[in-house]
Chain A
Amino acid sequence: MTTLKEPVLTKRIPTHPWGDPTDRKVVSYKQYVKTDGYKGLKNALAMEPSDVVDLVKAAEVRGRGGAGFPAGMKWSFLPPEDGGRRYLAINSDESEPGTFKDRLLIDFDPHIIIEGIAICMHACRLDTAYFYIRGEYHHQREVFEAAIKEAYENKIFGKGSKLGQINGRDPDLFLHRGAGAYVCGEETALLESLEGKRGWPRIKPPFPAVAGAFGRPTIINNVETLAICTPILERGEDGPKWFQSMGTQRPEGAPPHVPASFGPKLFGVSGHVNRPGVYEEELGITLKDLIEGLCQGMLNGKKYKSAIPGGISTGVLGPDEYDVRLDFDITKYDTLGLGTAGVIVMDEDTCMVGVARNIAHFFGHESCGQCTPCREGTNWMSKMLSRIEAGDGTTRDLDLLLEIAGSMGALPSGRGATICGLADGANWAVRTIVNKFWDEFEAKVSKQRFVSLSVVGS
């Protein structure tokens, strides 16, 4: 069933089908170096920085944090060096429900991330890196602090670093601890939080590559995106070719600016499956293969009903979409995208109204309150779905629900009414659930024969 020939990111982390997860141990600097560690950095340092960027660009690495933006292209947006500071912010605010892939890397193989960070700093000429880790990751914070210490001791960072001086400074990597706010996973909110303010997303432009942390050029990448650069650089010139031997090509007939979905990807599967966990597979594996192969089928032999492809923001897949390919081209199934590839599987007994209520509650709770449509809309939907679930909804509520959902978000589907994409997540999740499981919602409200005239917004 599995198509990936060898584990890439999970090379040192025993994972099915190559190893037994109970054997997992933190890989120390010594063990990491013994297993070809820091070879990628060595190759990168032998190259001109701009060539490293070109190599990553040639490999067409797409960001693993949710949006799938080509990493190499992001790196090339930086303005020319002016001698001032330039920052790297590593997004490890993994708060999207269903996502727990970065945690695996931080927990057991922190040096693959640190190597990726060092490669990026060399390639983009960034002197200071901040590892923004979410507040709830207490154990992970300790593991990563220890790994950073090892990296300093072995001259990856700090005085006399192998990277040499960048922008006239010794390269540094610091850990910055968040404090429990989902919105800080949005890149500009992360920067605000880094600067010691509340995590309110900024209006773009200016993009962080031009004016980011402390008003200086900043690159923000997800943990897995940086980690995947390590094995590419490890293979040097052959890296892009090797990377593109995995994954799926760009969709047929797509214009050339649409990137393909190459490479391996960590899939975190949870919900109603027999063996949930993080698995590494090629992009483009079907949902069916993922569930029936690596996850050993549905829990208690139940039937598949629905799945969320990549964290709850991405919307749901319906019962007839069991065969979808999990790659960045998944948007054709009316989802927001692959997201973080945190797959949540639901069986036939799941109440989809309850799922929508849980999701709407999440967004209502996590809305930062900056934009009115999101602040009011997410909580309005949350209350309405609680009402529908309790059997007190009206048919009119369903239309209203779709209307509210469709009127918030930064994308055209949300009428561009908000600054960041948090409301888009609420919008897509609620709209796709209501549309794909309309009958279930209708059954919940059908007992009510009258329409309340006091419904707000009527």
Chain B
Amino acid sequence: MAWIAKNSATMQIERRDEPYLTDALKKQLEDQVIPRYDTRMAATMPALHLVQDTHGWLPHQAMEEIAEFLGLTASHVLDTATFYEEYWLKPHGKYVIWVCQSLSCELLGQPSLLEKIKGHLGIEVGETTDDGRFTLMGVECLGSCGTAPCALVNHKLHENITADNFQSVLDSLE
């Protein structure tokens, strides 16, 4: 729900001296991404992906740096980043579990599976475990309806999940 606005007027931006958008990343964007598009603005999403893949999430300072680099306003970059579900504006656990909750998965037992995962991790959807290892998220269709129920753990898709085989997946993670 991208359209839920938060009051940011009194928010303090945490800053650090070292930039998130390093010179190496800037060079990578300048050489490989920006020439692909007619405008620099079009590189917003690739830039956000790049910083997120490097740093894990998107601090406000990083978005300001991206805005400056692409010649945009910081509010534009924030606007784009908040619209899409995959961009993290706050830190998350080492492993993010995205459990698909769309129709095909629900028909084949996703609700009871989700309850079991919640019980095992001791967290609700949207929360992170105390040790910072797992974040549990609900997500709409992952495009794997033929092998429902399914879930993504970071970038890896797990199909035909049962409570047992998913348990062993979680156990095998560091």
For B, the interface residue count at a CB cutoff of 8 angstroms equals 45
Interface of B is mostly: mixed
By a CB distance below 8 angstroms, the chain A residues around B142 are: 136
A179 adjacent to B146 (CB under 8 Å): no
Chain A residues within 8 Å of B152, by CB: 136, 138
With contacts A97-B102, A196-B44 taken as known, whether A272 is within 8 angstroms of B2 at the C-beta atoms is no
Do residues B49 and A177 form an inter-chain contact, with CB atoms below 8 A? Answer: yes
Nearest A residue (CB) for B38: A214
Which residues in A have their C-beta under 8 angstroms from that of B2?
A: 181, 198, 368-369
| Known A139-B157, A198-B83; contact A350-B107, beta-carbon cutoff 8 A | yes
Report if A125 contacts B (CB, 8 A).
no
The chain B residue sitting closest to A213, CB to CB, is B38
Q: Give the size range of A's interface with the partner.
A: 35 or more
Per-residue interface assignment for chain A, residues 367 to 382, with 1 indicating a CB less than 8 Å from any chain B CB and 0 otherwise:
1110000010000000
Nearest CB on A from B65, distance (A): 16
Q: Is A99 positioned at the interface, with any CB of B under 8 Å from its CB?
A: yes
Contact with B along A436-449 (1 / 0, CB 8 A): 00000000000000
Q: Does A362 contact B (CB under 8 A)?
A: yes
* Contact indicator B80/A270 (Cβ below 8 Å): no
Is the CB–CB distance between A95 and B141 below 8 Å? yes
Q: Output the least CB separation between B33 and chain A (Å).
A: 9
Query: Bound complex: CA of A416 vs CA of B74, how far in Å?
Result: 35
* CB of B21 closer than 8 Å to a CB of A: no
- Take A95-B140, A196-B39, A344-B103 as given contacts and tell me if A180 and B3 are in contact as well, using a CB distance cutoff of 8 Å: no
B106 to A, closest residue via Cβ: A358
A75 beta carbon closer than 8 Å to chain B: no
CB pair B147–A181 under 8 Å, yes or no, is no
Residue of B nearest to A103 (CB): B143
Instruction: Tell me if A197 is interfacial: C-beta within 8 Å of chain B.
Output: yes
- Interface residue B155 (Cβ < 8 Å from any Cβ of A): yes
Question: In the complex, A198 Cα to B104 Cα: how many Å?
Answer: 28
7 shortest interchain CB distances as A-B pairs: A369-B3, A196-B44, A179-B84, A270-B145, A180-B85, A198-B83, A97-B102
Which A residues form the contact surface with B (CB < 8 A)? 85, 94-100, 103, 134-139, 172, 174, 176-182, 193-199, 213-214, 216, 268-272, 276-278, 308, 312, 342, 344, 346, 350, 354-355, 358-359, 361-362, 364-369, 375
